[in-house]
Amino acid sequence: MAQEESFIEISHLKFCREERVIFDDINLTIPKGKVIAIMGPSGSGKTTLLQLLSAQLRPTAGSVLIDGISMHDLSRKELYRARRNMGMLFQNGALFTSLSVFENVAFALREHTKLSEEMIRDTVLMQLEAVGLRGARNLMPSQLSGGMARRVALARALVLNPQLMLYDEPFTGQDPITMGVLVHLIKRLNDILGLTSIIVSHDVIETAAIADVVYIVANGRIAGRGTPEQMFASESPWIKQFVHGLPDGIIPFHYPAATYQEDLEL
């Protein structure tokens, strides 16, 4: 990947939680305008990587550059300004429960812009139309299904026209129809709006259907990188076990611990 084509550069990134190493000297290059999947088994640090990208967490070592800017060297004011170019779809949607669908989507516009109420209304309705929920604008979050809440959260994440979209497990807990809608929406919106999208997921089939490049994270490192087709054809034991859902292999099922016999004898 030529330097001028890269949008995100993660270099020699290390991150630890106390003595546990989550990432150990990982390097990623993400080009502009693509859908990138970060996949791997539960507990491999996928969500942590999104938090490092958005500077919610600070790395133990290494750097994160987004559009040439070192995220962890910014002042608080500069960081808030940089985050305006990011949209985040959280695992649970994270809607404000006391605000209607309309007000949830309008929230960022009221906080970060000086648009008139007429412009805010038009913008919110346009975003809700894009996710198929313009007719639900007066509903409260408690009146929404899980899939509808996720789509409202997507409209809210996009309302400031970000350059970068971060998706944290967008397909978890969704029924097949809703999952299909979300897969189609993410890909269509990325293409129409010219976004760069990073999807953290362990839903292999759905994510691979829309990803341009897949990174597999395991054991604190990048176990593989390539197109979805290359990942499915890989003979790497790390990649093969994950993408094919094999119960036995190099990726352990148990969290590191003393032997079962040692625990029983305590």
C-alpha distances in Å from residue 89, one per residue of 152, 226, 261: 10, 24, 43
Q: What residue segments make up the domains of the chain, in order of their start?
A: 3-85+163-177+197-265, 94-161
pLDDT at 45: 84
Residue type, 255: Y
Residue-wise pLDDT for 102-118, tens only, equals 999 999 899 888 899 99
Q: What is the pLDDT along the chain (266 residues), one digit of tens a residue?
A: 444 468 999 999 999 988 888 999 899 889 988 999 998 877 778 889 999 999 999 999 999 999 888 999 999 989 888 888 888 888 777 899 999 999 999 998 998 888 999 999 999 999 999 888 999 999 999 999 888 888 899 899 989 889 999 999 888 777 788 788 888 888 888 888 888 999 998 888 888 889 999 998 888 888 888 898 988 888 887 777 777 776 665 565 556 677 777 777 76
Helix (H/G/I), strand (E/B), else coil: 158: helix
pTM of this structure:
0.82
55: left (phi over 0), alpha (psi -120 to 50) or beta: left
CA–CA gap between residue 74 and residue 63 (Å, rounded): 12
Q: How far apart are CA 251 and CA 263, in angstroms?
A: 23
Report whether CATH 1.10.1520.10 matches the domain 3-85+163-177+197-265: no
| Identity at 2, one-letter amino acid code | A
Question: Are the C-beta atoms of 206 and 171 separated by less than 8 Å?
Answer: yes
